[in-house]
Amino acid sequence: MERAAVVAGLGGWVPPTIVTNDQLAGVLDTSDEWIRRRTGIRERRWVSPGQSTGDLAVEAGRRALSSAGLEDVDAVVLATSSPDRHCPATAPEVATRLGLGPVPAFDVAAVCTGFVYALATGAGMVALGAARSVLVIGADAFSTLLAPDDRSTRVIFGDGGGAVVLRTGSPTEPGALTGLNLGSDGSLSDLIEVPAGGSRQRSTGLPAKTEDTYFTMQGQAVYAQAVRRMAESVKETARRTGWDPAEIDRFVLHQANARILEAVARRLGLPPERFLSNIEVRGNTVAASIPLALADGVASGELRPGHKVVLAGFGGGLTWGSMALVWPRLAPPATASAEPAVASAGADPGPP
């Protein structure tokens, strides 16, 4: 019988420190009104001093394992672009801290598409029979990469972790992942970058300029690419899954900007209510964004068993990707320690 990777557990976690727009407006030339109007973000969580991406990943992973009713998995894949250290990968330490033993554990770096790439990697391991279960985590502490005085990036990003457990199952059961579509365009790699710190800069032997050690983004160009690439990827995943886009109940897209979600909905000619959004209180949490939106969506009741769901990410690289599944019935706890935070209009009555 054909094997499929099936979502069997879900968890999310955000650090306790809330940073409001007004707090940012107190130290940067910005305002609550500008941030809300241009991004839809009201507040975000940031790690506190000493807290790291690995800490976020451990908390999210623990909740996903508990939701799946498992204490062990055969592998850990961690999507992150803000690892605890440049070397080694963060995943092995996360696996050890979760008590998972000497399982294969590695990082996947695809910035805001990282979770979809990690999900594809984990699903591939299951489909090959290389693992019966995989913990797939997306976690980023991107606040640590932002220049203290850069209002254009500082208002957007939040920190967090989200995770799913994949297990071996059948392609026809709820939770089975399907319709994978991934892509990249390295000719636009400069649109989203941390210029210094990598081998290209270090091989010069010259010290990095401080400003080059921070994250930079060409906002408008990224915006246009995000809308185009996510809309195209969603359509391709729907086609590969054999679904008409109009019959898809929920779109769980990377939460980059509320206006990007609305623009993708418009481009696809679909009701915006079907696009889950927690950006108001999470901000852009990079690789954690999609699994956190799933966890918040389940907690709020916006995402329910039986829903036809498409996940889609877009980020630096450039990279993009989508997958589809029928949402399965999962055991709680599925959500973050913080309150559920989904704000889709909820006008759509939901599952078939």
Residues with catalytic function = 112, 254, 284
* Pure H helices in the chain: 21-25, 32-39, 53-68, 91-97, 114-128, 151-154, 199-202, 219-241, 258-268, 279-282, 289-300
Looking at beta carbons only, is 24 or 299 nearer to ligand COA?
24
In the complex, what is the shortest distance from the CB of residue 50 to ligand COA, in angstroms, rounded to a whole number? Answer: 26
By CB under 6 A, name the one of 70, 127, 188, 217 that touches ligand COA.
Answer: 217
CB 136 within 8 A of CB 167: no
In the complex, what is the shortest distance from the CB of residue 287 to ligand COA, in angstroms, rounded to a whole number? Answer: 10
By CB under 6 A, name the one of 284, 319, 322, 344 that touches ligand COA.
Answer: 284
How many angstroms separate the CA atoms of 282 and 285, rounded? 7
Q: Roughly how many angstroms between the first and final C-alpha of the chain, as a whole number?
A: 28
Looking at beta carbons only, is 127 or 147 nearer to ligand COA?
147
How many angstroms separate the CA atoms of 101 and 60, rounded? 18
By CB under 6 A, name the one of 53, 67, 143, 257 that touches ligand COA.
Answer: 257
By CB under 6 A, name the one of 223, 270, 350, 351 that touches ligand COA.
Answer: 223
By CB under 6 A, name the one of 219, 306, 350, 351 that touches ligand COA.
Answer: 219
**Bond into 207 cis (ω within 30):** no
Instruction: Compute the CA torsion angle 261, 266, 267, 270 (nearest 10 deg).
Output: 90
- ∠276-282-286 over CA atoms, to 5°? 85
Q: Which two tokens stand for residue 227?
A: 């809308």
In the complex, what is the shortest distance from the CB of residue 133 to ligand COA, in angstroms, rounded to a whole number? Answer: 29
Interface with ligand COA includes 147 (CB under 6 A)?
no
Interface with ligand COA includes 220 (CB under 6 A)?
yes
* Pure H helices in 140-288: 151-154, 199-202, 219-241, 258-268, 279-282
Closest by Cα among 307, 297, 284, 300 to 114: 284
Interface with ligand COA includes 26 (CB under 6 A)?
no
- Sign of the CA dihedral 290, 295, 297, 298? positive
How far is C-alpha 265 from the geometric centre of its chain's CA atoms? 19
- Bridge partners of 6? 167, 176
Q: Which stretch binds ligand COA (CB under 6 A): 62-70, 151-159, 181-189, 239-247?
A: 151-159
Q: Which stretch binds ligand COA (CB under 6 A): 27-35, 91-99, 114-122, 321-329?
A: 27-35
Interface with ligand COA includes 106 (CB under 6 A)?
no
Q: Binding marks (x or -) toward ligand COA, 47..86, rule CB under 6 A?
A: ----------------------------------------
Interface with ligand COA includes 39 (CB under 6 A)?
yes
In the complex, what is the shortest distance from the CB of residue 314 to ligand COA, in angstroms, rounded to a whole number? Answer: 6
> Using CB under 6 A as the criterion, which residues of the chain lie in contact with ligand COA when the complex forms?
30, 34-35, 38-39, 112, 151-152, 155, 192, 217, 219-220, 222-223, 226, 256-257, 260, 284, 314-315
